[in-house]
């Protein structure tokens, strides 16, 4: 199958493209910087660029759309341009190219309204209630994608929850860096149950959604490891895997949310050279996520996608520890060679 994967320079996008290549699919990748994937046709550009999208979609039979602006802060128009307009351009380009399958990578945050999110299924995407520009624009994008589902064009939305793994710079490395600097608090007791998704499991689910699109089309599915853990245990496990001290102090949830609101407002006033490439230490959304439960019933996902997670949380942590050990060994060897 000829498959376009957007966002292949990211951890999950790369894992998806690698899986497709390994099984013999013809893969095209579209992202702003080179993914360096041997065997893949590469198109450099942004998903909000009509010319780049048209080139990338040419000749494709299917699309897995991962590229997005993922951040806790930033101008609302940037989220709209990438997450909404980018999705619309990909949908239009895919249909005009004759593609018959489209997997929209969404987020459980499209159904998050500030409290615990414990669902029997995916739950409805609601742009009016979703918290923050990222979640709101992803909700709109998901609805746009599912609205394009129809005869000859099967659309499936998949919502992986908290994807992590070796080499993860968006989540794990930020947790580790802040813990090492003593700037990582627990919010409240750290007891709320949160489910996460090891990267290999998330990639397998997206490939399964592609394969099952003609049967599972028109629906949204949450993907996780199916192993809810206290958020405290998750962060401590990642820190120990990296060899740093886990968080030893906490902030009351109400205080964290108030601090998040203040930090968000202040962050927008800082010079771009200060905020570039970094996230604020706390936001209202982050405080909510770290102090409320988020786990899901996966029975419908497993049935519809004929998929099940294969890498457990503990096995994933062991792989993460191996990654950090190897990286430390490489750094030592490099220093010795100087």
Q: Give the Cα separation of 24 and 5 in Å (integer).
A: 15
Q: How many domains does the chain have?
A: 1
CB 205 within 8 A of CB 220: no
The domain spanning residue 202 has which CATH number? 3.40.50.720
**Are the beta carbons of 216 and 304 closer than 8 angstroms?**
yes
Residues facing 103 on adjacent strands: 64, 156
CB distance 184 to 236 below 8 Å? no
How many CB atoms within 10 Å of residue 265?
Answer: 9
List the beta bridge partners of residue 29: 5, 42
Q: Which of 134, 221, 285, 307 is catalytic?
A: 134
Model confidence over 270-328: pLDDT tens digits?
Answer: 665 444 556 676 676 677 767 778 888 899 999 999 999 999 999 999 999 999 999 88
Q: Please check whether residue 257 lies inside any domain of the structure.
A: no
- Indicate whether 87 belongs to any domain: yes
Domain-embedded: residue 44:
yes
- Mean pLDDT score, 159-163: 94
With a CB cutoff of 8 Å and minimum separation 6, the contacts of 218 are 146, 149, 154, 155, 156
- pLDDT tier, 267 (very low <50, low <70, confident <90, very high otherwise): low
In this structure, what token pair is assigned to residue 100? 């018959």
* CA-wise closest residue to 62 among 113, 4, 21, 127: 4
Residue 248 clears pLDDT 50, i.e. is over it: yes
Percentage of the residues of the chain whose pLDDT score is greater than 90: 63
Q: What is the pLDDT of the chain when averaged over all its residues?
A: 88
Mean pLDDT of 202-221: 97
Q: What is the pLDDT of residue 221?
A: 95
Give the tens place of pLDDT for each residue, 45-86.
Answer: 999 999 999 999 999 999 999 999 987 677 889 999 999 999
**Length of the chain, please?**
338
- Asked if 69 and 135 count as a contact pair (C-beta separation under 8 A), the reply is no
Q: Where are the beta strands (DSSP E) in the chain?
A: 2-6, 26-31, 41-44, 62-65, 101-105, 117-119, 154-160, 163-164, 186-187, 193-194, 197-198, 220-223, 229-230, 250-251, 294-296
Range of the domain at 75: 2-168+196-224+294-311
Q: Which two tokens stand for residue 84?
A: 């909404």
Residue 286 within any structural domain of the chain: no
User: Looking at residues 91-98, what average pLDDT do you find?
Assistant: 97
Closest by Cα among 49, 48, 52 to 4: 52
CA–chain centroid gap for 278, Å, is 17
pLDDT at 98 over 90: yes
Does residue 320 sit within a domain? no
- pLDDT category at 224 given cuts 50, 70, 90 is very high
**Whole-prediction pTM:** 0.90
134 is annotated as an active-site residue? yes
């Amino acid at each position: 199958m000829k498959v376009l994967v957007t966002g292949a320079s990211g951890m999950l996008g790369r894992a998806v493209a690698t899986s497709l290549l390994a099984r013999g699919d013809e893969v095209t990748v579209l992202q702003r910087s080179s993914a360096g994937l041997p065997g893949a046709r590469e198109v450099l550009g942004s998903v909000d660029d009509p010319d780049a999208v048209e080139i990338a979609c040419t000749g494709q039979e299917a699309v897995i759309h991962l590229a997005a602006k993922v951040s806790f802060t930033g101008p609302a128009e940037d989220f709209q341009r990438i997450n909404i307009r980018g999705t619309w351009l990909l949908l239009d380009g895919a249909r005009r190219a004759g593609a018959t399958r489209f997997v929209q990578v969404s987020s459980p945050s499209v159904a998050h309204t500030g409290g615990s999110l414990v669902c029997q299924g995916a739950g409805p995407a609601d742009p009016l209630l979703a918290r923050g520009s990222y979640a709101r624009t992803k909700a709109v994008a998901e609805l746009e994608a599912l609205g394009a589902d129809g005869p000859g064009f099967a659309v499936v939305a998949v919502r992986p929850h908290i994807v992590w793994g070796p080499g993860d710079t968006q989540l794990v490395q930020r947790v580790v860096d802040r813990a090492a600097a003593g700037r990582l608090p627990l919010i409240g007791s750290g007891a709320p149950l949160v489910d996460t998704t090891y990267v290999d499991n998330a990639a397998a689910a997206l490939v399964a959604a592609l394969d099952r699109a003609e049967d599972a089309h028109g629906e949204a599915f949450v993907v996780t490891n199916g192993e809810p853990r206290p958020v405290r245990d998750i962060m401590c496990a990642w820190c120990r895997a990296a060899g740093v001290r886990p968080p030893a102090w906490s902030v009351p949830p109400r205080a964290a949310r108030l601090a998040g609101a203040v930090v968000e407002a202040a962050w927008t006033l800082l010079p771009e050279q200060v905020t570039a490439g970094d996230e604020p230490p706390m936001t209202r959304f982050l405080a909510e996520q770290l102090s409320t439960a988020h786990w899901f019933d996966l029975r419908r996902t497993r049935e519809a996608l004929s998929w099940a997670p294969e890498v457990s949380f503990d096995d994933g942590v062991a792989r993460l520890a191996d990654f950090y050990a190897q990286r430390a060994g490489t750094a030592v060897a490099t220093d010795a060679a100087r």
